[in-house]
Amino acid sequence: MILVVDDEPQIAEIASDYLRLGGFEVVVAEDGVRALETVRERHPDLVILDLGLPKLDGLDVARTIRRTSDLPIIMLTARVEEDDRLHGLEIGADDYITKPFSPRELVARVRAVLRRTEKRKSESDATTLRVADLLIDVTRMRVSRDDETIDLTPTEFQLLETLARHAGRVFTREQLLDAVRGSAAEAFDRAIDSHIKNIRRKLRGGAREYIATVYGIGYRFVDE
What gap in Å lies between CA 58 and CA 65, rounded to an integer? Answer: 11
- Do 109 and 164 lie in one domain? The reply is no
Final residue before a domain boundary, out of 95, 122, 149: 122
- Do 217 and 192 lie in one domain? The reply is yes
- Do 22 and 110 lie in one domain? The reply is yes
Which pLDDT does position 186 carry in this prediction?
46
Final residue before a domain boundary, out of 101, 122, 143: 122
- Do 156 and 199 lie in one domain? The reply is yes
- Do 62 and 108 lie in one domain? The reply is yes
Which pLDDT does position 183 carry in this prediction?
45
Which pLDDT does position 223 carry in this prediction?
73
Give the residue-averaged pLDDT of 146-155.
87
142 phi and psi angles, rounded to 5 deg: -130, 140
Q: Is 90 exceeded by the pLDDT of residue 36?
A: yes
3-state secondary structure of 22: coil
Q: Is 90 exceeded by the pLDDT of residue 46?
A: yes
- Do 135 and 186 lie in one domain? The reply is yes
- Do 104 and 152 lie in one domain? The reply is no
Q: Is 50 exceeded by the pLDDT of residue 78?
A: yes
Which pLDDT does position 17 carry in this prediction?
95
- Do 60 and 103 lie in one domain? The reply is yes
This prediction's pTM: 0.62
- Do 164 and 214 lie in one domain? The reply is yes
How many structural domains comprise the chain? Answer: 2
Which pLDDT does position 144 carry in this prediction?
92
What sign results for the dihedral spanned by CA atoms 12, 15, 17, 22? negative
- Do 108 and 176 lie in one domain? The reply is no
Residue 35 region, left (φ>0) first, then alpha (ψ -120 to 50), else beta?
A: alpha
Which pLDDT does position 224 carry in this prediction?
60
What gap in Å lies between CA 151 and CA 108, rounded to an integer? Answer: 36
Which pLDDT does position 195 carry in this prediction?
87
Which pLDDT does position 171 carry in this prediction?
87
Interval 89-128: pLDDT, tens:
777 788 888 888 899 999 998 998 888 777 666 655 567 8
- Do 6 and 56 lie in one domain? The reply is yes
- What mean pLDDT, rounded, does the chain reach? 84
Final residue before a domain boundary, out of 58, 87, 122: 122
Lowest-pLDDT choice from 6-15, 20-29, 146-155: 146-155
CATH at 187: 1.10.10.10
Interval 154-209: pLDDT, tens:
888 889 998 988 888 888 888 888 777 644 444 444 578 888 999 999 998 765 78
Which pLDDT does position 155 carry in this prediction?
83
Higher-confidence residue of 62 and 76: namely 62
CATH at 78: 3.40.50.2300
User: Which domain range does residue 139 map to?
Assistant: 126-221
Q: Is 50 exceeded by the pLDDT of residue 5?
A: yes
What gap in Å lies between CA 29 and CA 54, rounded to an integer? Answer: 11
- Do 136 and 202 lie in one domain? The reply is yes
